[in-house]
Amino acid sequence: MKIITLILLLASNFVLAQQKQHFDMVRYTIPNGWQQSTKPKTVSISKEDKQGNYCIITIYKSVESGSDSRQNFDVSWESLVQKTLATDKAVMQPAGTDNGWTSETGSAPFEKDGLKGAVILITNTSAAKMVNIVILTNTQLYQKEMENFLNDLSFSKPETNTSQLKNNTTSKKETHTHKKQNVEIWMNVKISAASGSLKAYYPYGTLKPSFYVVYPNGDYYPHFPPEGMLQFNNENKNESWGKFTLTGNKGRFQSKYENIAVEKISATEMKKTGYSAGFYKCVPVDGLRLNGQWGSFAGWDKDPVSGKASGINGTGVRAVIEFTKEGNFTDYGAFVTNLLMPNQVPQNAPGKGTYHFENFTLVLRYNDGRIAYKSFTGAGNKNPAAFNKLIYIGNQPFYSK
């Protein structure tokens, strides 16, 4: 029995000719020489040779989901990958955003029933919808064809909350349409003691943060838009929103889904009742200047790829972004989903340009005309002007050397 059949039990109905296809919310083109198999909830395209080299790309039908793209990835990794292939945790790439969709990409090696290879999961989230793509391969022979396939993928435009930015990359002519409000960003953390080199990055200990946007009238949103705050507002609220109240030093975050009692310790810290840690008020970043390089994982500077200027395969592409105090930046590939395919999503491709910070938003103006908007904070109530070993760009942690 062929390897492809062993892995996915592919049905018949193969397509050899290159043609445009439509499955659920996804449009794609089948590479020449690849085979397609369609089921009610999946479509798979695949290629293998007589030597046993294979690549299988499976697109799953969209499902209802939460709005947290990383949580959606974690759930999908467990259900679609770990339970099937018994892999370890995924090695993550920086999240990407395109046409209202946020993609989270992770990978891991696998070995099961005598088969070895690598598995890649791409979880795409938008407007309470999630589309998963799973790639299984044991070779680099089909890398270029796989790259072209992924570059050609497009998703139907989902129905979105009109208060949110539809795309984190836009033209220079676009202007901000909403009146700026003095919102507060609070980082809600779960903490465990940090050890070793991690102590330099985590001033409170190892933390798992979530972000809360709080408006002057008490409206709060339990997520931080990955595009930042420049085109986000509290005018069109969905059921995820809630109210924050504070009487004296006693406060509460309450919505349809949560009821969190807090105690105000200082102007920048609130303790969760019954917990040793709680909420930390992020410091405004308007006018901030950074100087140095930041990578998307701790210890990146010692990594054989991202830690060297030559990058991956001598291309210079690596998961690093550099800022200068003069207001310039060099994006070496900090936001691409796969370093082997840096142009997979053109809006997230490497480049150079100028930057500025405004209303918890990093604005990157690339020399090729792109403008990218990324949410930005320091670590909790630490001022990133003074402490920036750990910063958050697009809600993802980035680490200095």
Average of per-residue pLDDT values in the chain: 83
Lowest mean pLDDT among 71-85, 210-224, 251-265: 71-85
User: Is domain 184-281 given the CATH code 2.130.10 in the classification?
Assistant: no
What is the average pLDDT across 213-233? 92
% of the chain with per-residue pLDDT over 70: 84
Q: In the chain, what are the domain boundaries?
A: 3-155, 184-281, 292-400
pTM, 2 dp: 0.57
Strand order in the sheet with 26-29: 20-23, 26-29, 154-155
Evaluate if residue 14 carries a pLDDT over 70: no
- Name residue 202's amino acid: Y
Q: What is the mean pLDDT of residues 162-173?
A: 40
**pLDDT band at 158, cuts 50/70/90?**
low
Which range (12-21, 231-240, 278-287, 385-394) has the least confidence? 12-21
Radius of gyration of the chain (CA): 22
Neighbours of 308 (CB within 10 A): 14
Please indicate whether residue 103 or residue 179 has the higher confidence score (pLDDT): 103
On the question of pLDDT at 6 being above 60, the answer is no
Q: Which range, of 40-44, 188-192, 297-301, averages the lowest pLDDT? A: 188-192
Q: What is the pLDDT of residues 69-97, one digit of tens each?
A: 888 898 889 889 988 888 888 888 877 77
Query: Rounded mean pLDDT of 50-64?
Result: 90
Would you say residue 5 has pLDDT above 80?
no
3-155: which CATH architecture?
3-Layer(aba) Sandwich (3.40)
